[in-house]
Amino acid sequence: MPEVILQCYPALGAEAEMEALRPIGRNNDAYQNMLEGMIELCQAADDLGYWGITHVEHHMHSEGLEISPAPILLNVFLGHYTKRLRHGQLGLVLPAHDPIRLAEEIAVADHMLKGRFFVGMARGYQARWQNILGQRFGVGSTNSDGGDADQSNRLLFSENFKIMKKAWTEDLLTYDGPTYQIPYPKEGIPNWPPAATITGKYGVPGEVDEHGTIKGVSAVPKPYTLPHPQLFQAFGASPATLKWCGEEDVTPTILAGPIENLKALIDIYQEAAIGAGRNPKFGEGIGVCRTFYIFENGTPEDTWKAELRRQVELYEEPVWRGWYEQFGFMEGSRLVGEEGPVPKPGEHLTERLVNSGLLIAGTVDDVKRQIEEFLEVLPIDYLVWLFHWGMIPKDEGLRQIELFANEVCPEFGLSSKTPVPA
């Protein structure tokens, strides 16, 4: 029985507003309207029983799409308007952060939300901002092509992840790796002034030696959730990523359409998990990304299909064709054995998304049937709804999540009001 996560990309307006208010990303009124709308969305999702809501981390988006440069702040802000809904990110771009600072911020947010917090991680693919913010770390964006830049990015991602987990779980934190040392220099930081008066008496044992040299540090506070908040990987679609997720007990959220491709990736995850000493069932610990458009039962097929095309053109096409396709994300819609460009020349985006499985649409009963068929083959733990809030008008967006929660989910036990662990 999967839980449902709304993957919300806060947009400051549809294309008409983006053009009229250029650059809308720096328009304060538009940003305030987005925050007010997000509060309403989160409260509705909370009342309807959704498991969680998540945002991306992206910076410098003057165009007004994916406006979430400080997702943890947004999580905490929105979390105080909800009671049960979990808040997180898909995901934080680890190579663009200092791992100890990020581990601390995550722990503080987890305390502020008393465990209604989860952590998504990503390697980062947008050079415009990641090359700038990552310059001090000597790393930029990656296309997962196996080249030097990709290897440097993967190294820093993996190392930062290891350090963060140690910071959450170990009272005395030490580390000696290829890009990071704790303490620095690794031999120790000499002449810590309050070594005898305070740290030696009250700090973590071993943090300072008898000569006043810092030999390790302690990241404070430790998370509210022990040993740490639930971990997700943003939009994993490569064998290497699924293998890593299986080894590290991280839930991948897979952006791939065809069932055959999903099964192959889940097999890789399961095999890696077994190799790491776990024994998950097929689909356990897995999230899959989908988009939904739902119409009332009794709506004639010709009517809802025409309306679906209209909505896709207005709310999905600017994002998928104007944005995602430019970064290669349409590859997730490639059919098994298919060659050539996707979408095909002249192919409507609606047909591409529906035929690949990325978009599930129809009347309530149609959507139920499609989800039932999907879950029979792939009994996953999480459905991640790609939800372009801000592009979709507020009333239409709220109606969609209400139809899904009230009419579709009860049949499958989806979107259950699972209590947050104490």
| C-alpha 370: how far from chain center | 24
Given a cut of 70, whether residue 419 has pLDDT beyond it is: no
HSE (CB half, 13 Å, CA atoms) of 261?
A: 21
**pLDDT recorded at residue 14:** 87
Tens digits of per-residue pLDDT, 334-345?
999 999 999 999
Average of pLDDT values for 302-323? 95
Tens digits of per-residue pLDDT, 216-261?
999 999 999 999 999 999 987 889 899 999 999 999 999 999 999 9
- Cis ω for the linkage preceding 227 (within 30 of 0): yes
| C-alpha 229: how far from chain center | 14
Is the separation of the CB atoms in 55 and 68 below 8 Å? Answer: yes
The domain 1-82+234-422 is classified under which CATH number: 3.30.2350.10, 3.20.20.70, 3.30.565.10, 3.20.20.30? 3.20.20.30
Q: What is the pTM of this model?
A: 0.94
Average of pLDDT values for 70-91? 97
Domain positions in the chain: 1-82+234-422, 92-165
Average of pLDDT values for 148-162? 87
Average of pLDDT values for 190-212? 97
Question: Which segment of 155-159, 249-253, 366-370, 378-382 scores lowest on mean pLDDT?
Answer: 155-159
Helix axes 148-169, 99-112, angle to 10 degrees: 50
> What value, to the nearest 5°, has the Cα angle with vertex 210 and ends 163 and 223?
30
Average of pLDDT values for 26-36? 95
Question: Which segment of 37-46, 127-136, 259-268, 372-381 scores lowest on mean pLDDT?
Answer: 127-136
Per the prediction, the chain carries an average pLDDT of: 93
**pLDDT recorded at residue 414:** 61
Given a cut of 60, whether residue 416 has pLDDT beyond it is: no
Confidence of residue 151 (pLDDT cuts 50, 70, 90): confident
Tens digits of per-residue pLDDT, 323-373?
999 988 999 999 999 999 999 999 999 999 999 999 999 999 999 999 999
**pLDDT recorded at residue 418:** 54
Q: Are strands 382-387 and 359-363 parallel, antiparallel or unpaired?
A: unpaired
**Which phi and psi angles does 173 have, rounded to 5°?**
-100, 120
Sequence-separated (6 or more) residues with CB below 8 Å from residue 263:
377, 378
Number of Cβ atoms within 10 Å of the Cβ of 302: 8
188: left (phi over 0), alpha (psi -120 to 50) or beta: left
**pLDDT recorded at residue 261:** 95
